[in-house]
Chain A
Amino acid sequence: MKIAEHSRPELTKRLASPDGLRLEVGPFSVRIRSETGVFPPFLRSLYADFPLSSPETVADFRIRLRRPKTFRRFLQPQIIFESDGQKLFQPFPLSHAPPLFEWGLNWCIGTRAHQYLILHAAVLERGGRAVIMPALPGSGKSTLCAALMLHGWRLLSDEFGLVRAEGLLDPIPRPIPLKNQSIGVIRRYAPQATLGPEFPKTRKGTVAHLKPTPASVARMRETAEPAWIVFPRYQEDSPARLSPLVPSYALLKLATNAFNYEVLGAEGFRRAGRLIRRCELYSFQYGHLEDAMNVFDSLPGR
């Protein structure tokens, strides 16, 4: 059963129970306990199409959003993120429970899921072929990723390229966190898109989450074959320009930008190397989303 098929009080009750709620997020099962009223509405609207895992699964991550037991709770209410009973970060203001959950789950995946080579990249698919967009500073990756998804591409992930041993990509189509100006850009680009509430003054400024398209979530068990690696760079008002990239450079950039390349060792090098060899490699400069969509509609492939 999907999240949206449960009423808000039902979700709230589940989340507060000792066993919590078991959410299926791509290849992972996440057990969530939460005592705050801020979280269930967020979960219900932005994870609407995600299924609950069977109660018989062993959760990959065991997470709890908890109010700290200090006198501060009366002054300025706070929330902490726990994984397996261990507090991971400094407390957030209570109202920021949703971004804390998203950030904490990212942390859990990036530091633990070493069955994958975990690229720091956005991944989308169309016609059975996936494009990987590594996240480099100033790339505008999330904005571009959001626009492509709203343009009909299937979202695999805005944050993680999960590279399996045989080289295929596993989806994890969670909500896309849009920051600052990107929020307005996407609202204008697609007024029909569902965005969550805005959270001002987070570490990264104002953040609002874009709901993944139902088609992306419905196909989150379907792996995708990598076909392109595109390093985007946003430059105000620049015409869209796609240029081929030297493989050695792409390999080093991709590897150093991954979350666990070092941890995987030789296996990380092999997976990254094979990925470079099977993909077309480009750098892409753009200034307008509409131009970018046109370029991506006709990405030259083999």
Chain B
Amino acid sequence: MNAQRRWRTNKSHLLWEVWPREAVIYNSLSGETHYLNHLAMRLLQKMEQGPISEEALSDFIGKKETIDDSDAQLKQFLQQFDQLGLIEPAE
């Protein structure tokens, strides 16, 4: 993990259907629809509020969720989000 690297979503391009513990989103750039579990949903919602560093994201899920090896999971999520074109590095 690169703690200082910052990410952001391209806000205007995501459409949401949100339920209490899950969401389905539409990426209007790729035209793809994705299912988000609770953690993925919270992460992406957090990034929608503005560019954020990996360190801050790690703190965020550390506080809210009790999960093992949360940094490894975070890294995996970010990689997937980037691959799907949901987020991009914030300059």
Contacts and interface: CB of A to CB of B under 8 A. Distances in A.
Binding partners A and B: yes
Contacts, number: 31
For chain A, the bracket of interface size reads: 10 to 19
A235 B28 CA distance: 39
Given A266-B26, A266-B28, A269-B26, A252 B35 contact: yes
A301 to B, nearest CB: 20
Contacts of A127: none
Given A266-B15, A269-B15, A248 B33 contact: no
Contacts of B23: 248
A248 B31 contact: no
Interface secondary structure of A, over-half rule: helix
B19 A247 contact: yes
A251 B17 contact: yes
Interface residues of B, number: 11
Interface in A256-300: 256, 262, 265-266, 269-270, 273, 276-277
Interface of B: 15, 17, 19, 22-24, 26, 28, 31, 33, 35
Nearest to A250: B24
Interface SS majority for chain B? strand
A255 interface: yes
Given A266-B26, A269-B26, A276-B17, 8 more contacts: A248-B17, A248-B19, A248-B23, A248-B24, A256-B33, A269-B17, A273-B17, A277-B17
28 contacts: A247-B19, A248-B17, A248-B19, A248-B22, A248-B23, A248-B24, A248-B35, A251-B17, A251-B24, A252-B24, A252-B33, A252-B35, A255-B33, A256-B33, A262-B31, A265-B28, A266-B15, A266-B26, A269-B15, A269-B17, A269-B26, A269-B33, A270-B15, A273-B15, A273-B17, A273-B24, A276-B17, A277-B17
A266 B28 CA distance: 6
Sorted nearest first, the 3 A-B pairs with minimum C-beta distance are A269-B26, A273-B17, A266-B28
A159 B35 CA distance: 27
B18 to A, nearest CB: 10
B15 to A, nearest CB: 5
Contacts of A276: 17
A276 B19 CA distance: 12
B26 to A, nearest CB: 4
A138 B33 CA distance: 25
Given A248-B23, A248-B24, A251-B24, A265 B17 contact: no
Contacts of A262: 31
A248 B36 CA distance: 9
A255 B35 CA distance: 12
Contacts of B35: 248, 252
B33 to A, nearest CB: 6
A265 B30 CA distance: 9
Nearest to B34: A252
Nearest to B18: A248
A270 B19 CA distance: 15
Interface in A223-270: 247-248, 251-252, 255-256, 262, 265-266, 269-270
